[in-house]
Structure 1
Amino acid sequence: MLNKLSRNEACWCGSGQKYKKCHAILDERIISYAAKGYEIPERSLLKNPKQIEGIRESSKLNIVLLDYIEDFVVEGVTTEELDRLIYNKTKELGGIPATLNYKGFQKSVCISINEVVCHGIPLSRVRLQNGDIVNIDISTLYRGYYSDSSRMFCIGGVSDEKRKLVEVAKECTELGIRQVKPWGFLGDVGQAVNDHAKKNGYSVVKEIGGHGIGEKFQEDPWVSYVSKRGTGMLLVPGLVFTVEPMINMGKANIVLDQKDGWTVYTADGKPSAQWEKTVLVTDTGCEVLTY
């Protein structure tokens, strides 16, 4: 339950306004959901205007980096070269690659090819080949705020089967984002994603999901994409998180590379695809921060 404040106290969000003119009405509504047994976000997860603007600025840089690297994602390039380009451009723009040295990850970007579901490590021996589908996942720290997004790329003559997977994965992300609205639930997002994936004969990875983001790289809430409508955390204005379902052509089962401790593969060796965007819950719907 949220701690109660008197109406004339300074608001807990740090806006400098009195509580009654800031979050009092919002808190009353949140408390009404909590009384009915719904999961509600901690106040620390709801971003104030200053934090939101900081995340927006970081997100702008993140998108510049994805736009920049697009011209270099071609047949024959090594993933190590792409990593170096992203590192140099991020530093040039005044940012820091958020993945670099995060929990021991030693690269500036995750690059996942074909059956690699996520967290692919850039290597000098790995070159993009004709027919590959590739996810490039860029995370950025800029002036104290984090942003995160990824895109799929098709290299050369990609098969119709793989190309459809890439398109449906994008549709899943977009359909999930459509469910992001105040006083809905995280489960609404997961239901929309899972329904569309299954409709097209695909499966959704269960163990890995989206996450909150802002002053930390990864924070609550954890976002499942196999959840049910009307369940999960209440969506409240100020909540920021990623929508990034991982869609498998085959079964949902995954395996972790025990040697590097990071790379996640599909258990059946079939391709996987993912698009990622960061969203903000607003008073009227949602704002896509990393478009």
Structure 2
Amino acid sequence: MIIIKTDTEIEYMRQAGKVVANTLLKLEEVVKPGITTAELDRIAEDYITQQGGKPSFKGYCGFPGSICTSVNKEVVHGIPNKSVVLQEGDIISVDCGAILNGYQGDAARTFAVGKISEEAKKLIEVTKESFFKGVEKAIVGNRLTDISASIQTYAESFGYSIVREYVGHGIGKDMHEDPEVPNYGRPGRGPKLTRGIVLAIEPMVNAGEYRVETQPNNWTVVTMDGSLSAHYENTVAILDNGPEILTLI
């Protein structure tokens, strides 16, 4: 069941989204060669709690971190670890969620670590732009898969592939609500978009093939062919005058 949000609920989600957006901006400032993913996790948790929030991911289904830190071939759900030291040329996808006043914000970014290859830079840019192509379709009266098809068409036009096993989702009081939001598919399908629907739209794009597998820790998802992967996500409210991105400052 899709839960339609009131204006008051969307305002609470704006506040949570602002905390998430600022957390990611702070992390972008400190991502550099030599820092560990555990240190990034500490910085994120400290900032979120200082704002009166709570990290959404910590303890969620047993996840040990406050953020997900996925490096290079890791697609999503990378676990922060003091033994993972970022190296020049890496890319790192950081997924961050915060709960404030009982409502969630959720967003992800892929950052460059020092100087990266042109291939990696292009992958990050295309993944980000694919999100915005999808958001263009997040308007009242469209169908859910209009978003999905737009993301897929754009990313695949550069020869990249879309991860199938992991998708976006509705969001509100709970991190994961209906509906699922695939990043691929034919347009004109799924529920009709109405005012008050709030979605976490999150393309995950691989430089190689789309197949992925989960590591033995039962969390970290990696590309099966070892290719680079990028992730870009925002929480988006569908309103009468168009979509509002709640996790972008």
TM superposition score normalised by structure 2: 0.97
Identical amino acids, percent of aligned pairs: 38
Q: Which runs of 5+ in 2 are unaligned?
A: none
Residue type of the partner of 1:289? L
- List, as ranges, runs of 4+ consecutive aligned residues in structure 1 with deviation greater than 3 Å: none
Q: What residue number does 1:282 align with?
A: 239
2-structure distance, mates of 1:145, 1:117: 26
1-structure distance, mates of 2:90, 2:31: 11
1:232-254 CA-to-partner distances (Å, cap 9, x unmatched) read 12111000011101000000000
Residue 284 of structure 1 deviates from its aligned partner by 2.5
Q: Which runs of 5+ in 1 are unaligned?
A: 1-41
Residue 85 of structure 1 deviates from its aligned partner by 1.1
Residue type of the partner of 1:194? Q
> Which residue among 209, 214, 229 is the counterpart of 1:251?
209
> Which residue among 164, 176, 186 is the counterpart of 1:206?
164
Give yes or no for the alignment of 1:88 onto 2:46: yes
2-structure distance, mates of 1:49, 1:161: 42
Q: Equivalent residues in 2 for 1:1-40 (5 A)?
A: none
> Which residue among 35, 59, 62 is the counterpart of 1:104?
62
Q: What residue number does 2:183 align with?
A: 225
RMSD across aligned positions (CA): 0.9
TM superposition score normalised by structure 1: 0.84
User: Paired residues, what number?
Assistant: 248
The SS at the match of 1:130 is coil
Q: What residue number does 1:5 align with?
A: none
The SS at the match of 1:45 is coil
The SS at the match of 1:163 is helix
The SS at the match of 1:260 is coil
Q: Which has the higher strand share?
A: 2
The SS at the match of 2:131 is helix
2-structure distance, mates of 1:165, 1:68: 22
Residue 171 of structure 1 deviates from its aligned partner by 0.8
Give yes or no for the alignment of 1:140 onto 2:114: no
1:114-159 CA-to-partner distances (Å, cap 9, x unmatched) read 1000000000110110111111111001110100011111112211
The SS at the match of 1:225 is coil
1-structure distance, mates of 2:30, 2:17: 21
> Which residue among 156, 171, 174 is the counterpart of 1:216?
174
1:197-255 CA-to-partner distances (Å, cap 9, x unmatched) read 11100000011010111111111110011111101121110000111010000000000
Higher relative contact order (CA 8 A, sep 6+): 2
